[in-house]
Structure 1
Amino acid sequence: MSFRLATVPGKPDRPNEDFAAVGANAAVLLDGAGTPPGTESGCLHGVAWFARTLGGLLLGALGADATLSGALGASIERVNRLHADTCDLKHSDTPSATVVAVRWGTTDIEYLVLADSVLVFDRVGDAPEVVTDDREAMVGRELRKPMDALATGTPEHARALRDYVAALADHRNRPGGFWVANTDPAAADEAITGRVRRDEVASMALLSDGASRLADRFGLATWRDTLDTLSAEGPAGLIRQVRRAEDSDPDGLRWPRGKAHDDATVVYGHAED
């Protein structure tokens, strides 16, 4: 397969907390769960470090003969060992991340999706197949209503965002709640996994939720539109469209959201001729 990748931070003065990479037989995308300014996480390294460290270790682990969930669980344990002596890994706001991982062989493509990043397969002769984990969205639907009623960028919205993030923490990595990659290797077993035949996939896209907004939050594009944009304009072209939409609604009045602009990352792979 041939791949293109693009990533753009949500704000130039804050680190990009997404991570994506492609190896010889695998690709990964992680979206670090950023904490609102002024929120302590117990980790001196921060969310961006966590996402790129876990992502790099996971990509390496996918080269071995292990299940995708096994590779993710082992990689979480390795990250824990890297900063257990310096950071409070039991803190409620310890860094976490969504995970999308794919690994391909001669005949099949295996996949893993944990939390709300998105994997889209362009199925040959069929509609796109979308794989995402909506448990956080289901939990957060009621919790986010006070935040969504306020204009993005106001002090009131910032306070509501902090309250929302704190309320979500009570449901994170718990039965009946939602699951993300942080310090508990068992979260890997809660991921959505599966496989598709390689000859049935014309292309595939791994998207952080900052890049999938046109389709799943703004309703400005279908998944077919998204794949067509990626084919014609590449990942950078899709992100430019997302930014134009965000810029048209800077206060979040049309599309309520936690951030006016989010980190946006796309990995796009297509079958070689």
Structure 2
Amino acid sequence: MKFAHRLTTCLLLLTVLGCQKADETLSPEGPASNPDRIATTNLRLKQMLVSGNNNGLGPMFVNTYFTYAQGRNLEKVTIPTQTYAGVTTYLYTYDEQGRVIASRYLRETPDNNNFRGSQSNYQYADSTIVETALRVDAEGNLSPYPTEPNYKVTYRLNSEGLVYEEFVEGTVIWGSETTLLSRYTYENGNVVKVETTDANGQPVSTLHYEYDDKVNPFYKWTYMYDPVLHCSRNNIVSARTSQSQPQRTEYTYNEQGLPLTKKNVTQGAVLTYDYETFDK
């Protein structure tokens, strides 16, 4: 359960570590393509608003509002919903080095077991980040997940601060505790393939991505922890599994090359980006 939900967990792990251009072997040697277009600006996302049919498009096509502690360090993310859970809120805690050490996901209304959400904790070491997860009850108390008490994710980073491997332990699939290993392949500064295998080394899934040549507003920053978003310099225009047809996305852009709108070609839903300036 948490393996799937983890992609919607909010944190900023690689804001500090940084994501650099990498080739397929994750050992970059040349300059980044279009360096003038990927330079960091003093714009940050204020809100994202969706229109049209967003059914089944996941967390990237919902109304989302951002509040910052300072610079690009998030304090809170708010997502109104039409479900029984009410407003969804994400909260962040940082260490003295400005790294996220905890991210908390809370629903406005507790579930039938009096739990409101979850908290992910992060520990940093040389070339690794370890994530563990706890439940949050209606009073704010933390406790382990009874079904996955040994759940842990280890992100392995190369010398450029890029996630090249993601190892999930203690996740439960079909009633049994097991492990999953994901490997990330980079090309021209973007994640182009993610291959996941099970505990026996057998393929679970392979995801393929294609990109535009414009600025990714989530590069080195995002409110969701997903290396595809964190470490890709450009915006995804096509995503597919090895067996599926691609899901295609179209964008419009501002003068800085940042997306103004994002359209899911299949369903027609449009996400509008609203930015604000900040002092670096």
TM-score, L = length of structure 1: 0.30
Larger relative helix fraction: 1
Higher relative contact order (CA 8 A, sep 6+): 1
Larger relative strand fraction: 2
TM-score, L = length of structure 2: 0.30
